[in-house]
Amino acid sequence: MEITGYHGTDENSVNKISRNGFIPSDNNNWLGQGIYFFGNIKELNISGKSEAVDWAVKVRKFRSFGIFEALIISNNYIDIARDEEHKQLYEDIRRAALAKHGQLGKLQKDFKESLVFTKLEKIGTADFIIALTDGAKNPPFLNYVVRRPQLQICIKNNNCIIKNYLIDCGESK
């Protein structure tokens, strides 16, 4: 699979990434430890680059930001956004986890979906994970009535980033 991802960051990190490449985030992020990119969702006219800019300016509130575009290639991936078999398997996993959650007398609203990715990290993982996530969970979008679909790409193996370019820099207003 070949996919293009967009990564927003601050001015200092732009220089570091340009010199030394990406450094994986800690394991507290959505899909676990990795390097995060936004992808395009053509069906919804959602631009990965715009999402990366929004994340840098509105979520992280960086005064100066840069956007990297990366070409990601690997045939060892998990795609729970578009791969029908992967989506079905993921739904079955979530259903099994929810069943256990209920057996323990816990409320559905307290279910932590990221435990699936914690389990995934225990078992071993693919080079990258693609998932359609709800970005409305992130500030400053908390009062959104609508959902905010985002295509998240979490890189677990840096070697699948084949090319990487700084495509935009700017100042937040």
**Window 61 to 80, contacts with other proteins (CB under 8 A):** 75-80
Listed in sequence order, the residues at least 6 apart from 18 whose beta carbon sits closer than 8 Å to its beta carbon are: 166
d(CA 73, CA 98): 33
- Residue number with CB closer to other proteins (73 or 116): 116
- Residue number with CB closer to other proteins (4 or 114): 114
Site size toward other proteins, by CB under 8 A:
56
Tokens of 146: 């609508």
Using the rule CB under 8 A, is 23 a contact of other proteins? no
CB of 110 to other proteins, least distance (A): 9
Using the rule CB under 8 A, is 55 a contact of other proteins? no
Tell me the window of 4-12, 58-66, 84-92, 165-173 that interacts with other proteins (CB under 8 A): 84-92
Q: Where are the beta strands (DSSP E) in the chain?
A: 2-10, 35-39, 64-73, 77-79, 128-134, 149-155, 161-171
- Residue number with CB closer to other proteins (3 or 132): 132
Listed in sequence order, the residues at least 6 apart from 66 whose beta carbon sits closer than 8 Å to its beta carbon are: 8, 9, 10, 11, 13, 14, 56, 166, 168, 169, 170
- Residue number with CB closer to other proteins (71 or 111): 111
**Window 93 to 112, contacts with other proteins (CB under 8 A):** 93-94, 96-97, 100-101, 104, 112
- Report the residue from 18, 137, 165, 167 that binds other proteins according to the rule CB under 8 A: 137
In order of 15, 88, 90, 122, 170, the CA distances from 93 in angstroms are 40, 9, 5, 15, 41
Q: Which residues bind other proteins (CB under 8 A)?
A: 27-32, 41, 43-45, 75-80, 85-87, 89-94, 96-97, 100-101, 104, 112-120, 123-126, 131-134, 136-137, 142-147, 149
